[in-house]
């Protein structure tokens, strides 16, 4: 406004910017750095700051312990400012100074037009604000209806899913229990059959051994009878032949030796039979223990499989619960849409004071505020 209405474009050449409160005003490098910062940080004033001179001074208060030092700083700043002004010898007279009254009058007319335009914009803004509020209320109501419907559908879906999962769980548990019982019964029947077969086999072997022992006893008795018959025959022969006593004694000694040999053989056979019987009992006991260990191992394997199936089922139930929680969080996020619209409407109403563009910027600002709060 200064260069276009009150003065002309040459006013920038006769303008000086004085920055106060700069403690490093005596450091030329610090002043140069600050000039560069001012010209780059203020984009709207960059075309002015690039052309005008910038003077740095410091005017600390004359109070406290540093009053004397501050006084010297103020005097030095005053001196620098006077020195600079003493170098400004040219006089500025705008070329359009004669038409200043007309330009000011035209400016006032334009100002009135701007006021009228602002009134029209204000009326349009109020009308748009009312329409926007109505639309926002309709949107809120529609959002609430949608949220209620979504919540109802979600609750129905959760209930349906829960019922189906409970049904599947009961079916799976029943199937697992039935299969487990069936496998246990089969293994028990199998173990019983194996134990029965082992017992029958052992009984047969014991019977075979007993039969063999009986047969050996019969053979031994037959041998004894034969020996008696031989002794009787020998006695008859001795009686008949009237043999000498020495021959008789030899025969008797031979007979006793044969009897002793048969007795030793019988003892050996008895010891062999008893040893074989003990070995068969040990083998039967070992087989019984093996069957018992196998049954225990099978029970442990079944228990381990059952625990594994339970863990897998628990993981499946946790996965289903996580899915349900995810769906609930999605519904919660949907319910936050009303809060988002409320922030957008508030920002649009506040920004509508600056016209339609202000309403749009205000709505964007409200949305940014809502997202910032969520973060």
Q: Reduce the DSSP state of residue 254 to 3 states and report it.
A: helix
What is the predicted pLDDT for the residue at 331?
47
CB count in 10 Å sphere of residue 335: 14
pLDDT per position as a tens digit, 319-367: 877 876 776 665 455 544 555 555 555 555 555 545 555 554 555 555 5
Contact residues for 26 (Cβ-Cβ < 8 A; gap 6+): 76
CB count in 10 Å sphere of residue 343: 20
Report H helices in the chain: 28-41, 46-49, 67-86, 100-241, 245-335, 337-351, 356-374
- Chain-centroid distance of CA 140 in Å reads 36
For 66, the token pair is 């540093």
| Whole-number Å distance between alpha carbons of 102 and 100 | 5
Q: Which helix (H) or strand (E) holds 96?
A: none
Q: Do the Cβ atoms of 298 and 202 come closer than 8 Å?
A: no
pLDDT mean across residues, the chain: 78
For 187, the token pair is 């293994």
pLDDT per position as a tens digit, 255-299: 788 878 888 888 888 888 788 878 888 887 888 888 788 888 888
pLDDT per position as a tens digit, 36-88: 888 888 777 777 888 888 899 999 998 888 889 999 999 999 999 898 888 88
What is the predicted pLDDT for the residue at 177?
84
Higher pLDDT, 338 or 139: 139
| Whole-number Å distance between alpha carbons of 140 and 341 | 7
pTM: 0.30
């Amino acid at each position: 406004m200064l260069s276009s209405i009150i003065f002309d474009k040459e006013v920038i050449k006769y303008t000086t910017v004085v920055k106060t409160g700069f403690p490093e005003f005596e450091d030329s490098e610090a002043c140069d750095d600050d000039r560069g910062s001012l010209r780059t940080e203020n984009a709207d004033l960059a075309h002015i700051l690039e052309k005008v001179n910038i003077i740095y001074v410091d005017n600390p208060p004359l109070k406290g312990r540093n009053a004397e030092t501050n006084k010297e700083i103020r005097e030095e700043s005053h001196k620098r400012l006077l020195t600079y002004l003493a170098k400004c010898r040219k006089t500025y007279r705008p070329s359009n100074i004669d038409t200043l009254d007309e330009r000011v009058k035209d400016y006032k007319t334009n100002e009135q037009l701007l006021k009228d335009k602002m009134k029209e914009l204000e009326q349009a803004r109020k009308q748009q604000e009312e329409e926007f509020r109505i639309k926002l209320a309709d949107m809120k109501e529609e959002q609430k209806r949608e949220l209620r419907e979504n919540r109802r559908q979600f609750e129905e879906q959760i209930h349906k899913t829960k019922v189906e999962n409970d049904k599947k769980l009961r079916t799976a548990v029943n199937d697992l229990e039935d299969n487990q019982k069936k496998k246990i019964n089969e293994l028990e029947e199998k173990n019983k059959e194996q134990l029965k077969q082992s017992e029958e086999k052992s009984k047969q072997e014991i019977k075979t051994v007993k039969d063999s022992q009986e047969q050996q006893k019969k053979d031994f008795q037959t041998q004894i009878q034969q020996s008696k018959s031989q002794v009787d025959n020998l006695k008859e022969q001795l009686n008949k032949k009237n043999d000498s006593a020495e021959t008789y004694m030899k025969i008797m000694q031979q007979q006793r030796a044969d009897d002793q040999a048969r007795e030793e053989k019988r003892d050996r056979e008895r010891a062999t039979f008893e040893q074989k019987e003990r070995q068969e009992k040990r083998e039967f006991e070992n087989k019984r223990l093996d069957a018992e260990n196998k049954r225990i191992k099978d029970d442990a394997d079944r228990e381990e499989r059952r625990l594994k199936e339970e863990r897998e089922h628990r993981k499946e139930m946790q996965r289903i619960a996580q899915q349900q929680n995810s769906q609930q969080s999605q519904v919660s996020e949907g319910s936050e849409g009303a809060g988002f619209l409320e922030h957008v409407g508030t920002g649009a109403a506040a920004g509508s004071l600056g016209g339609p563009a202000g309403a749009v910027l205000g709505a964007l600002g409200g949305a940014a505020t809502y997202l910032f709060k969520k973060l």
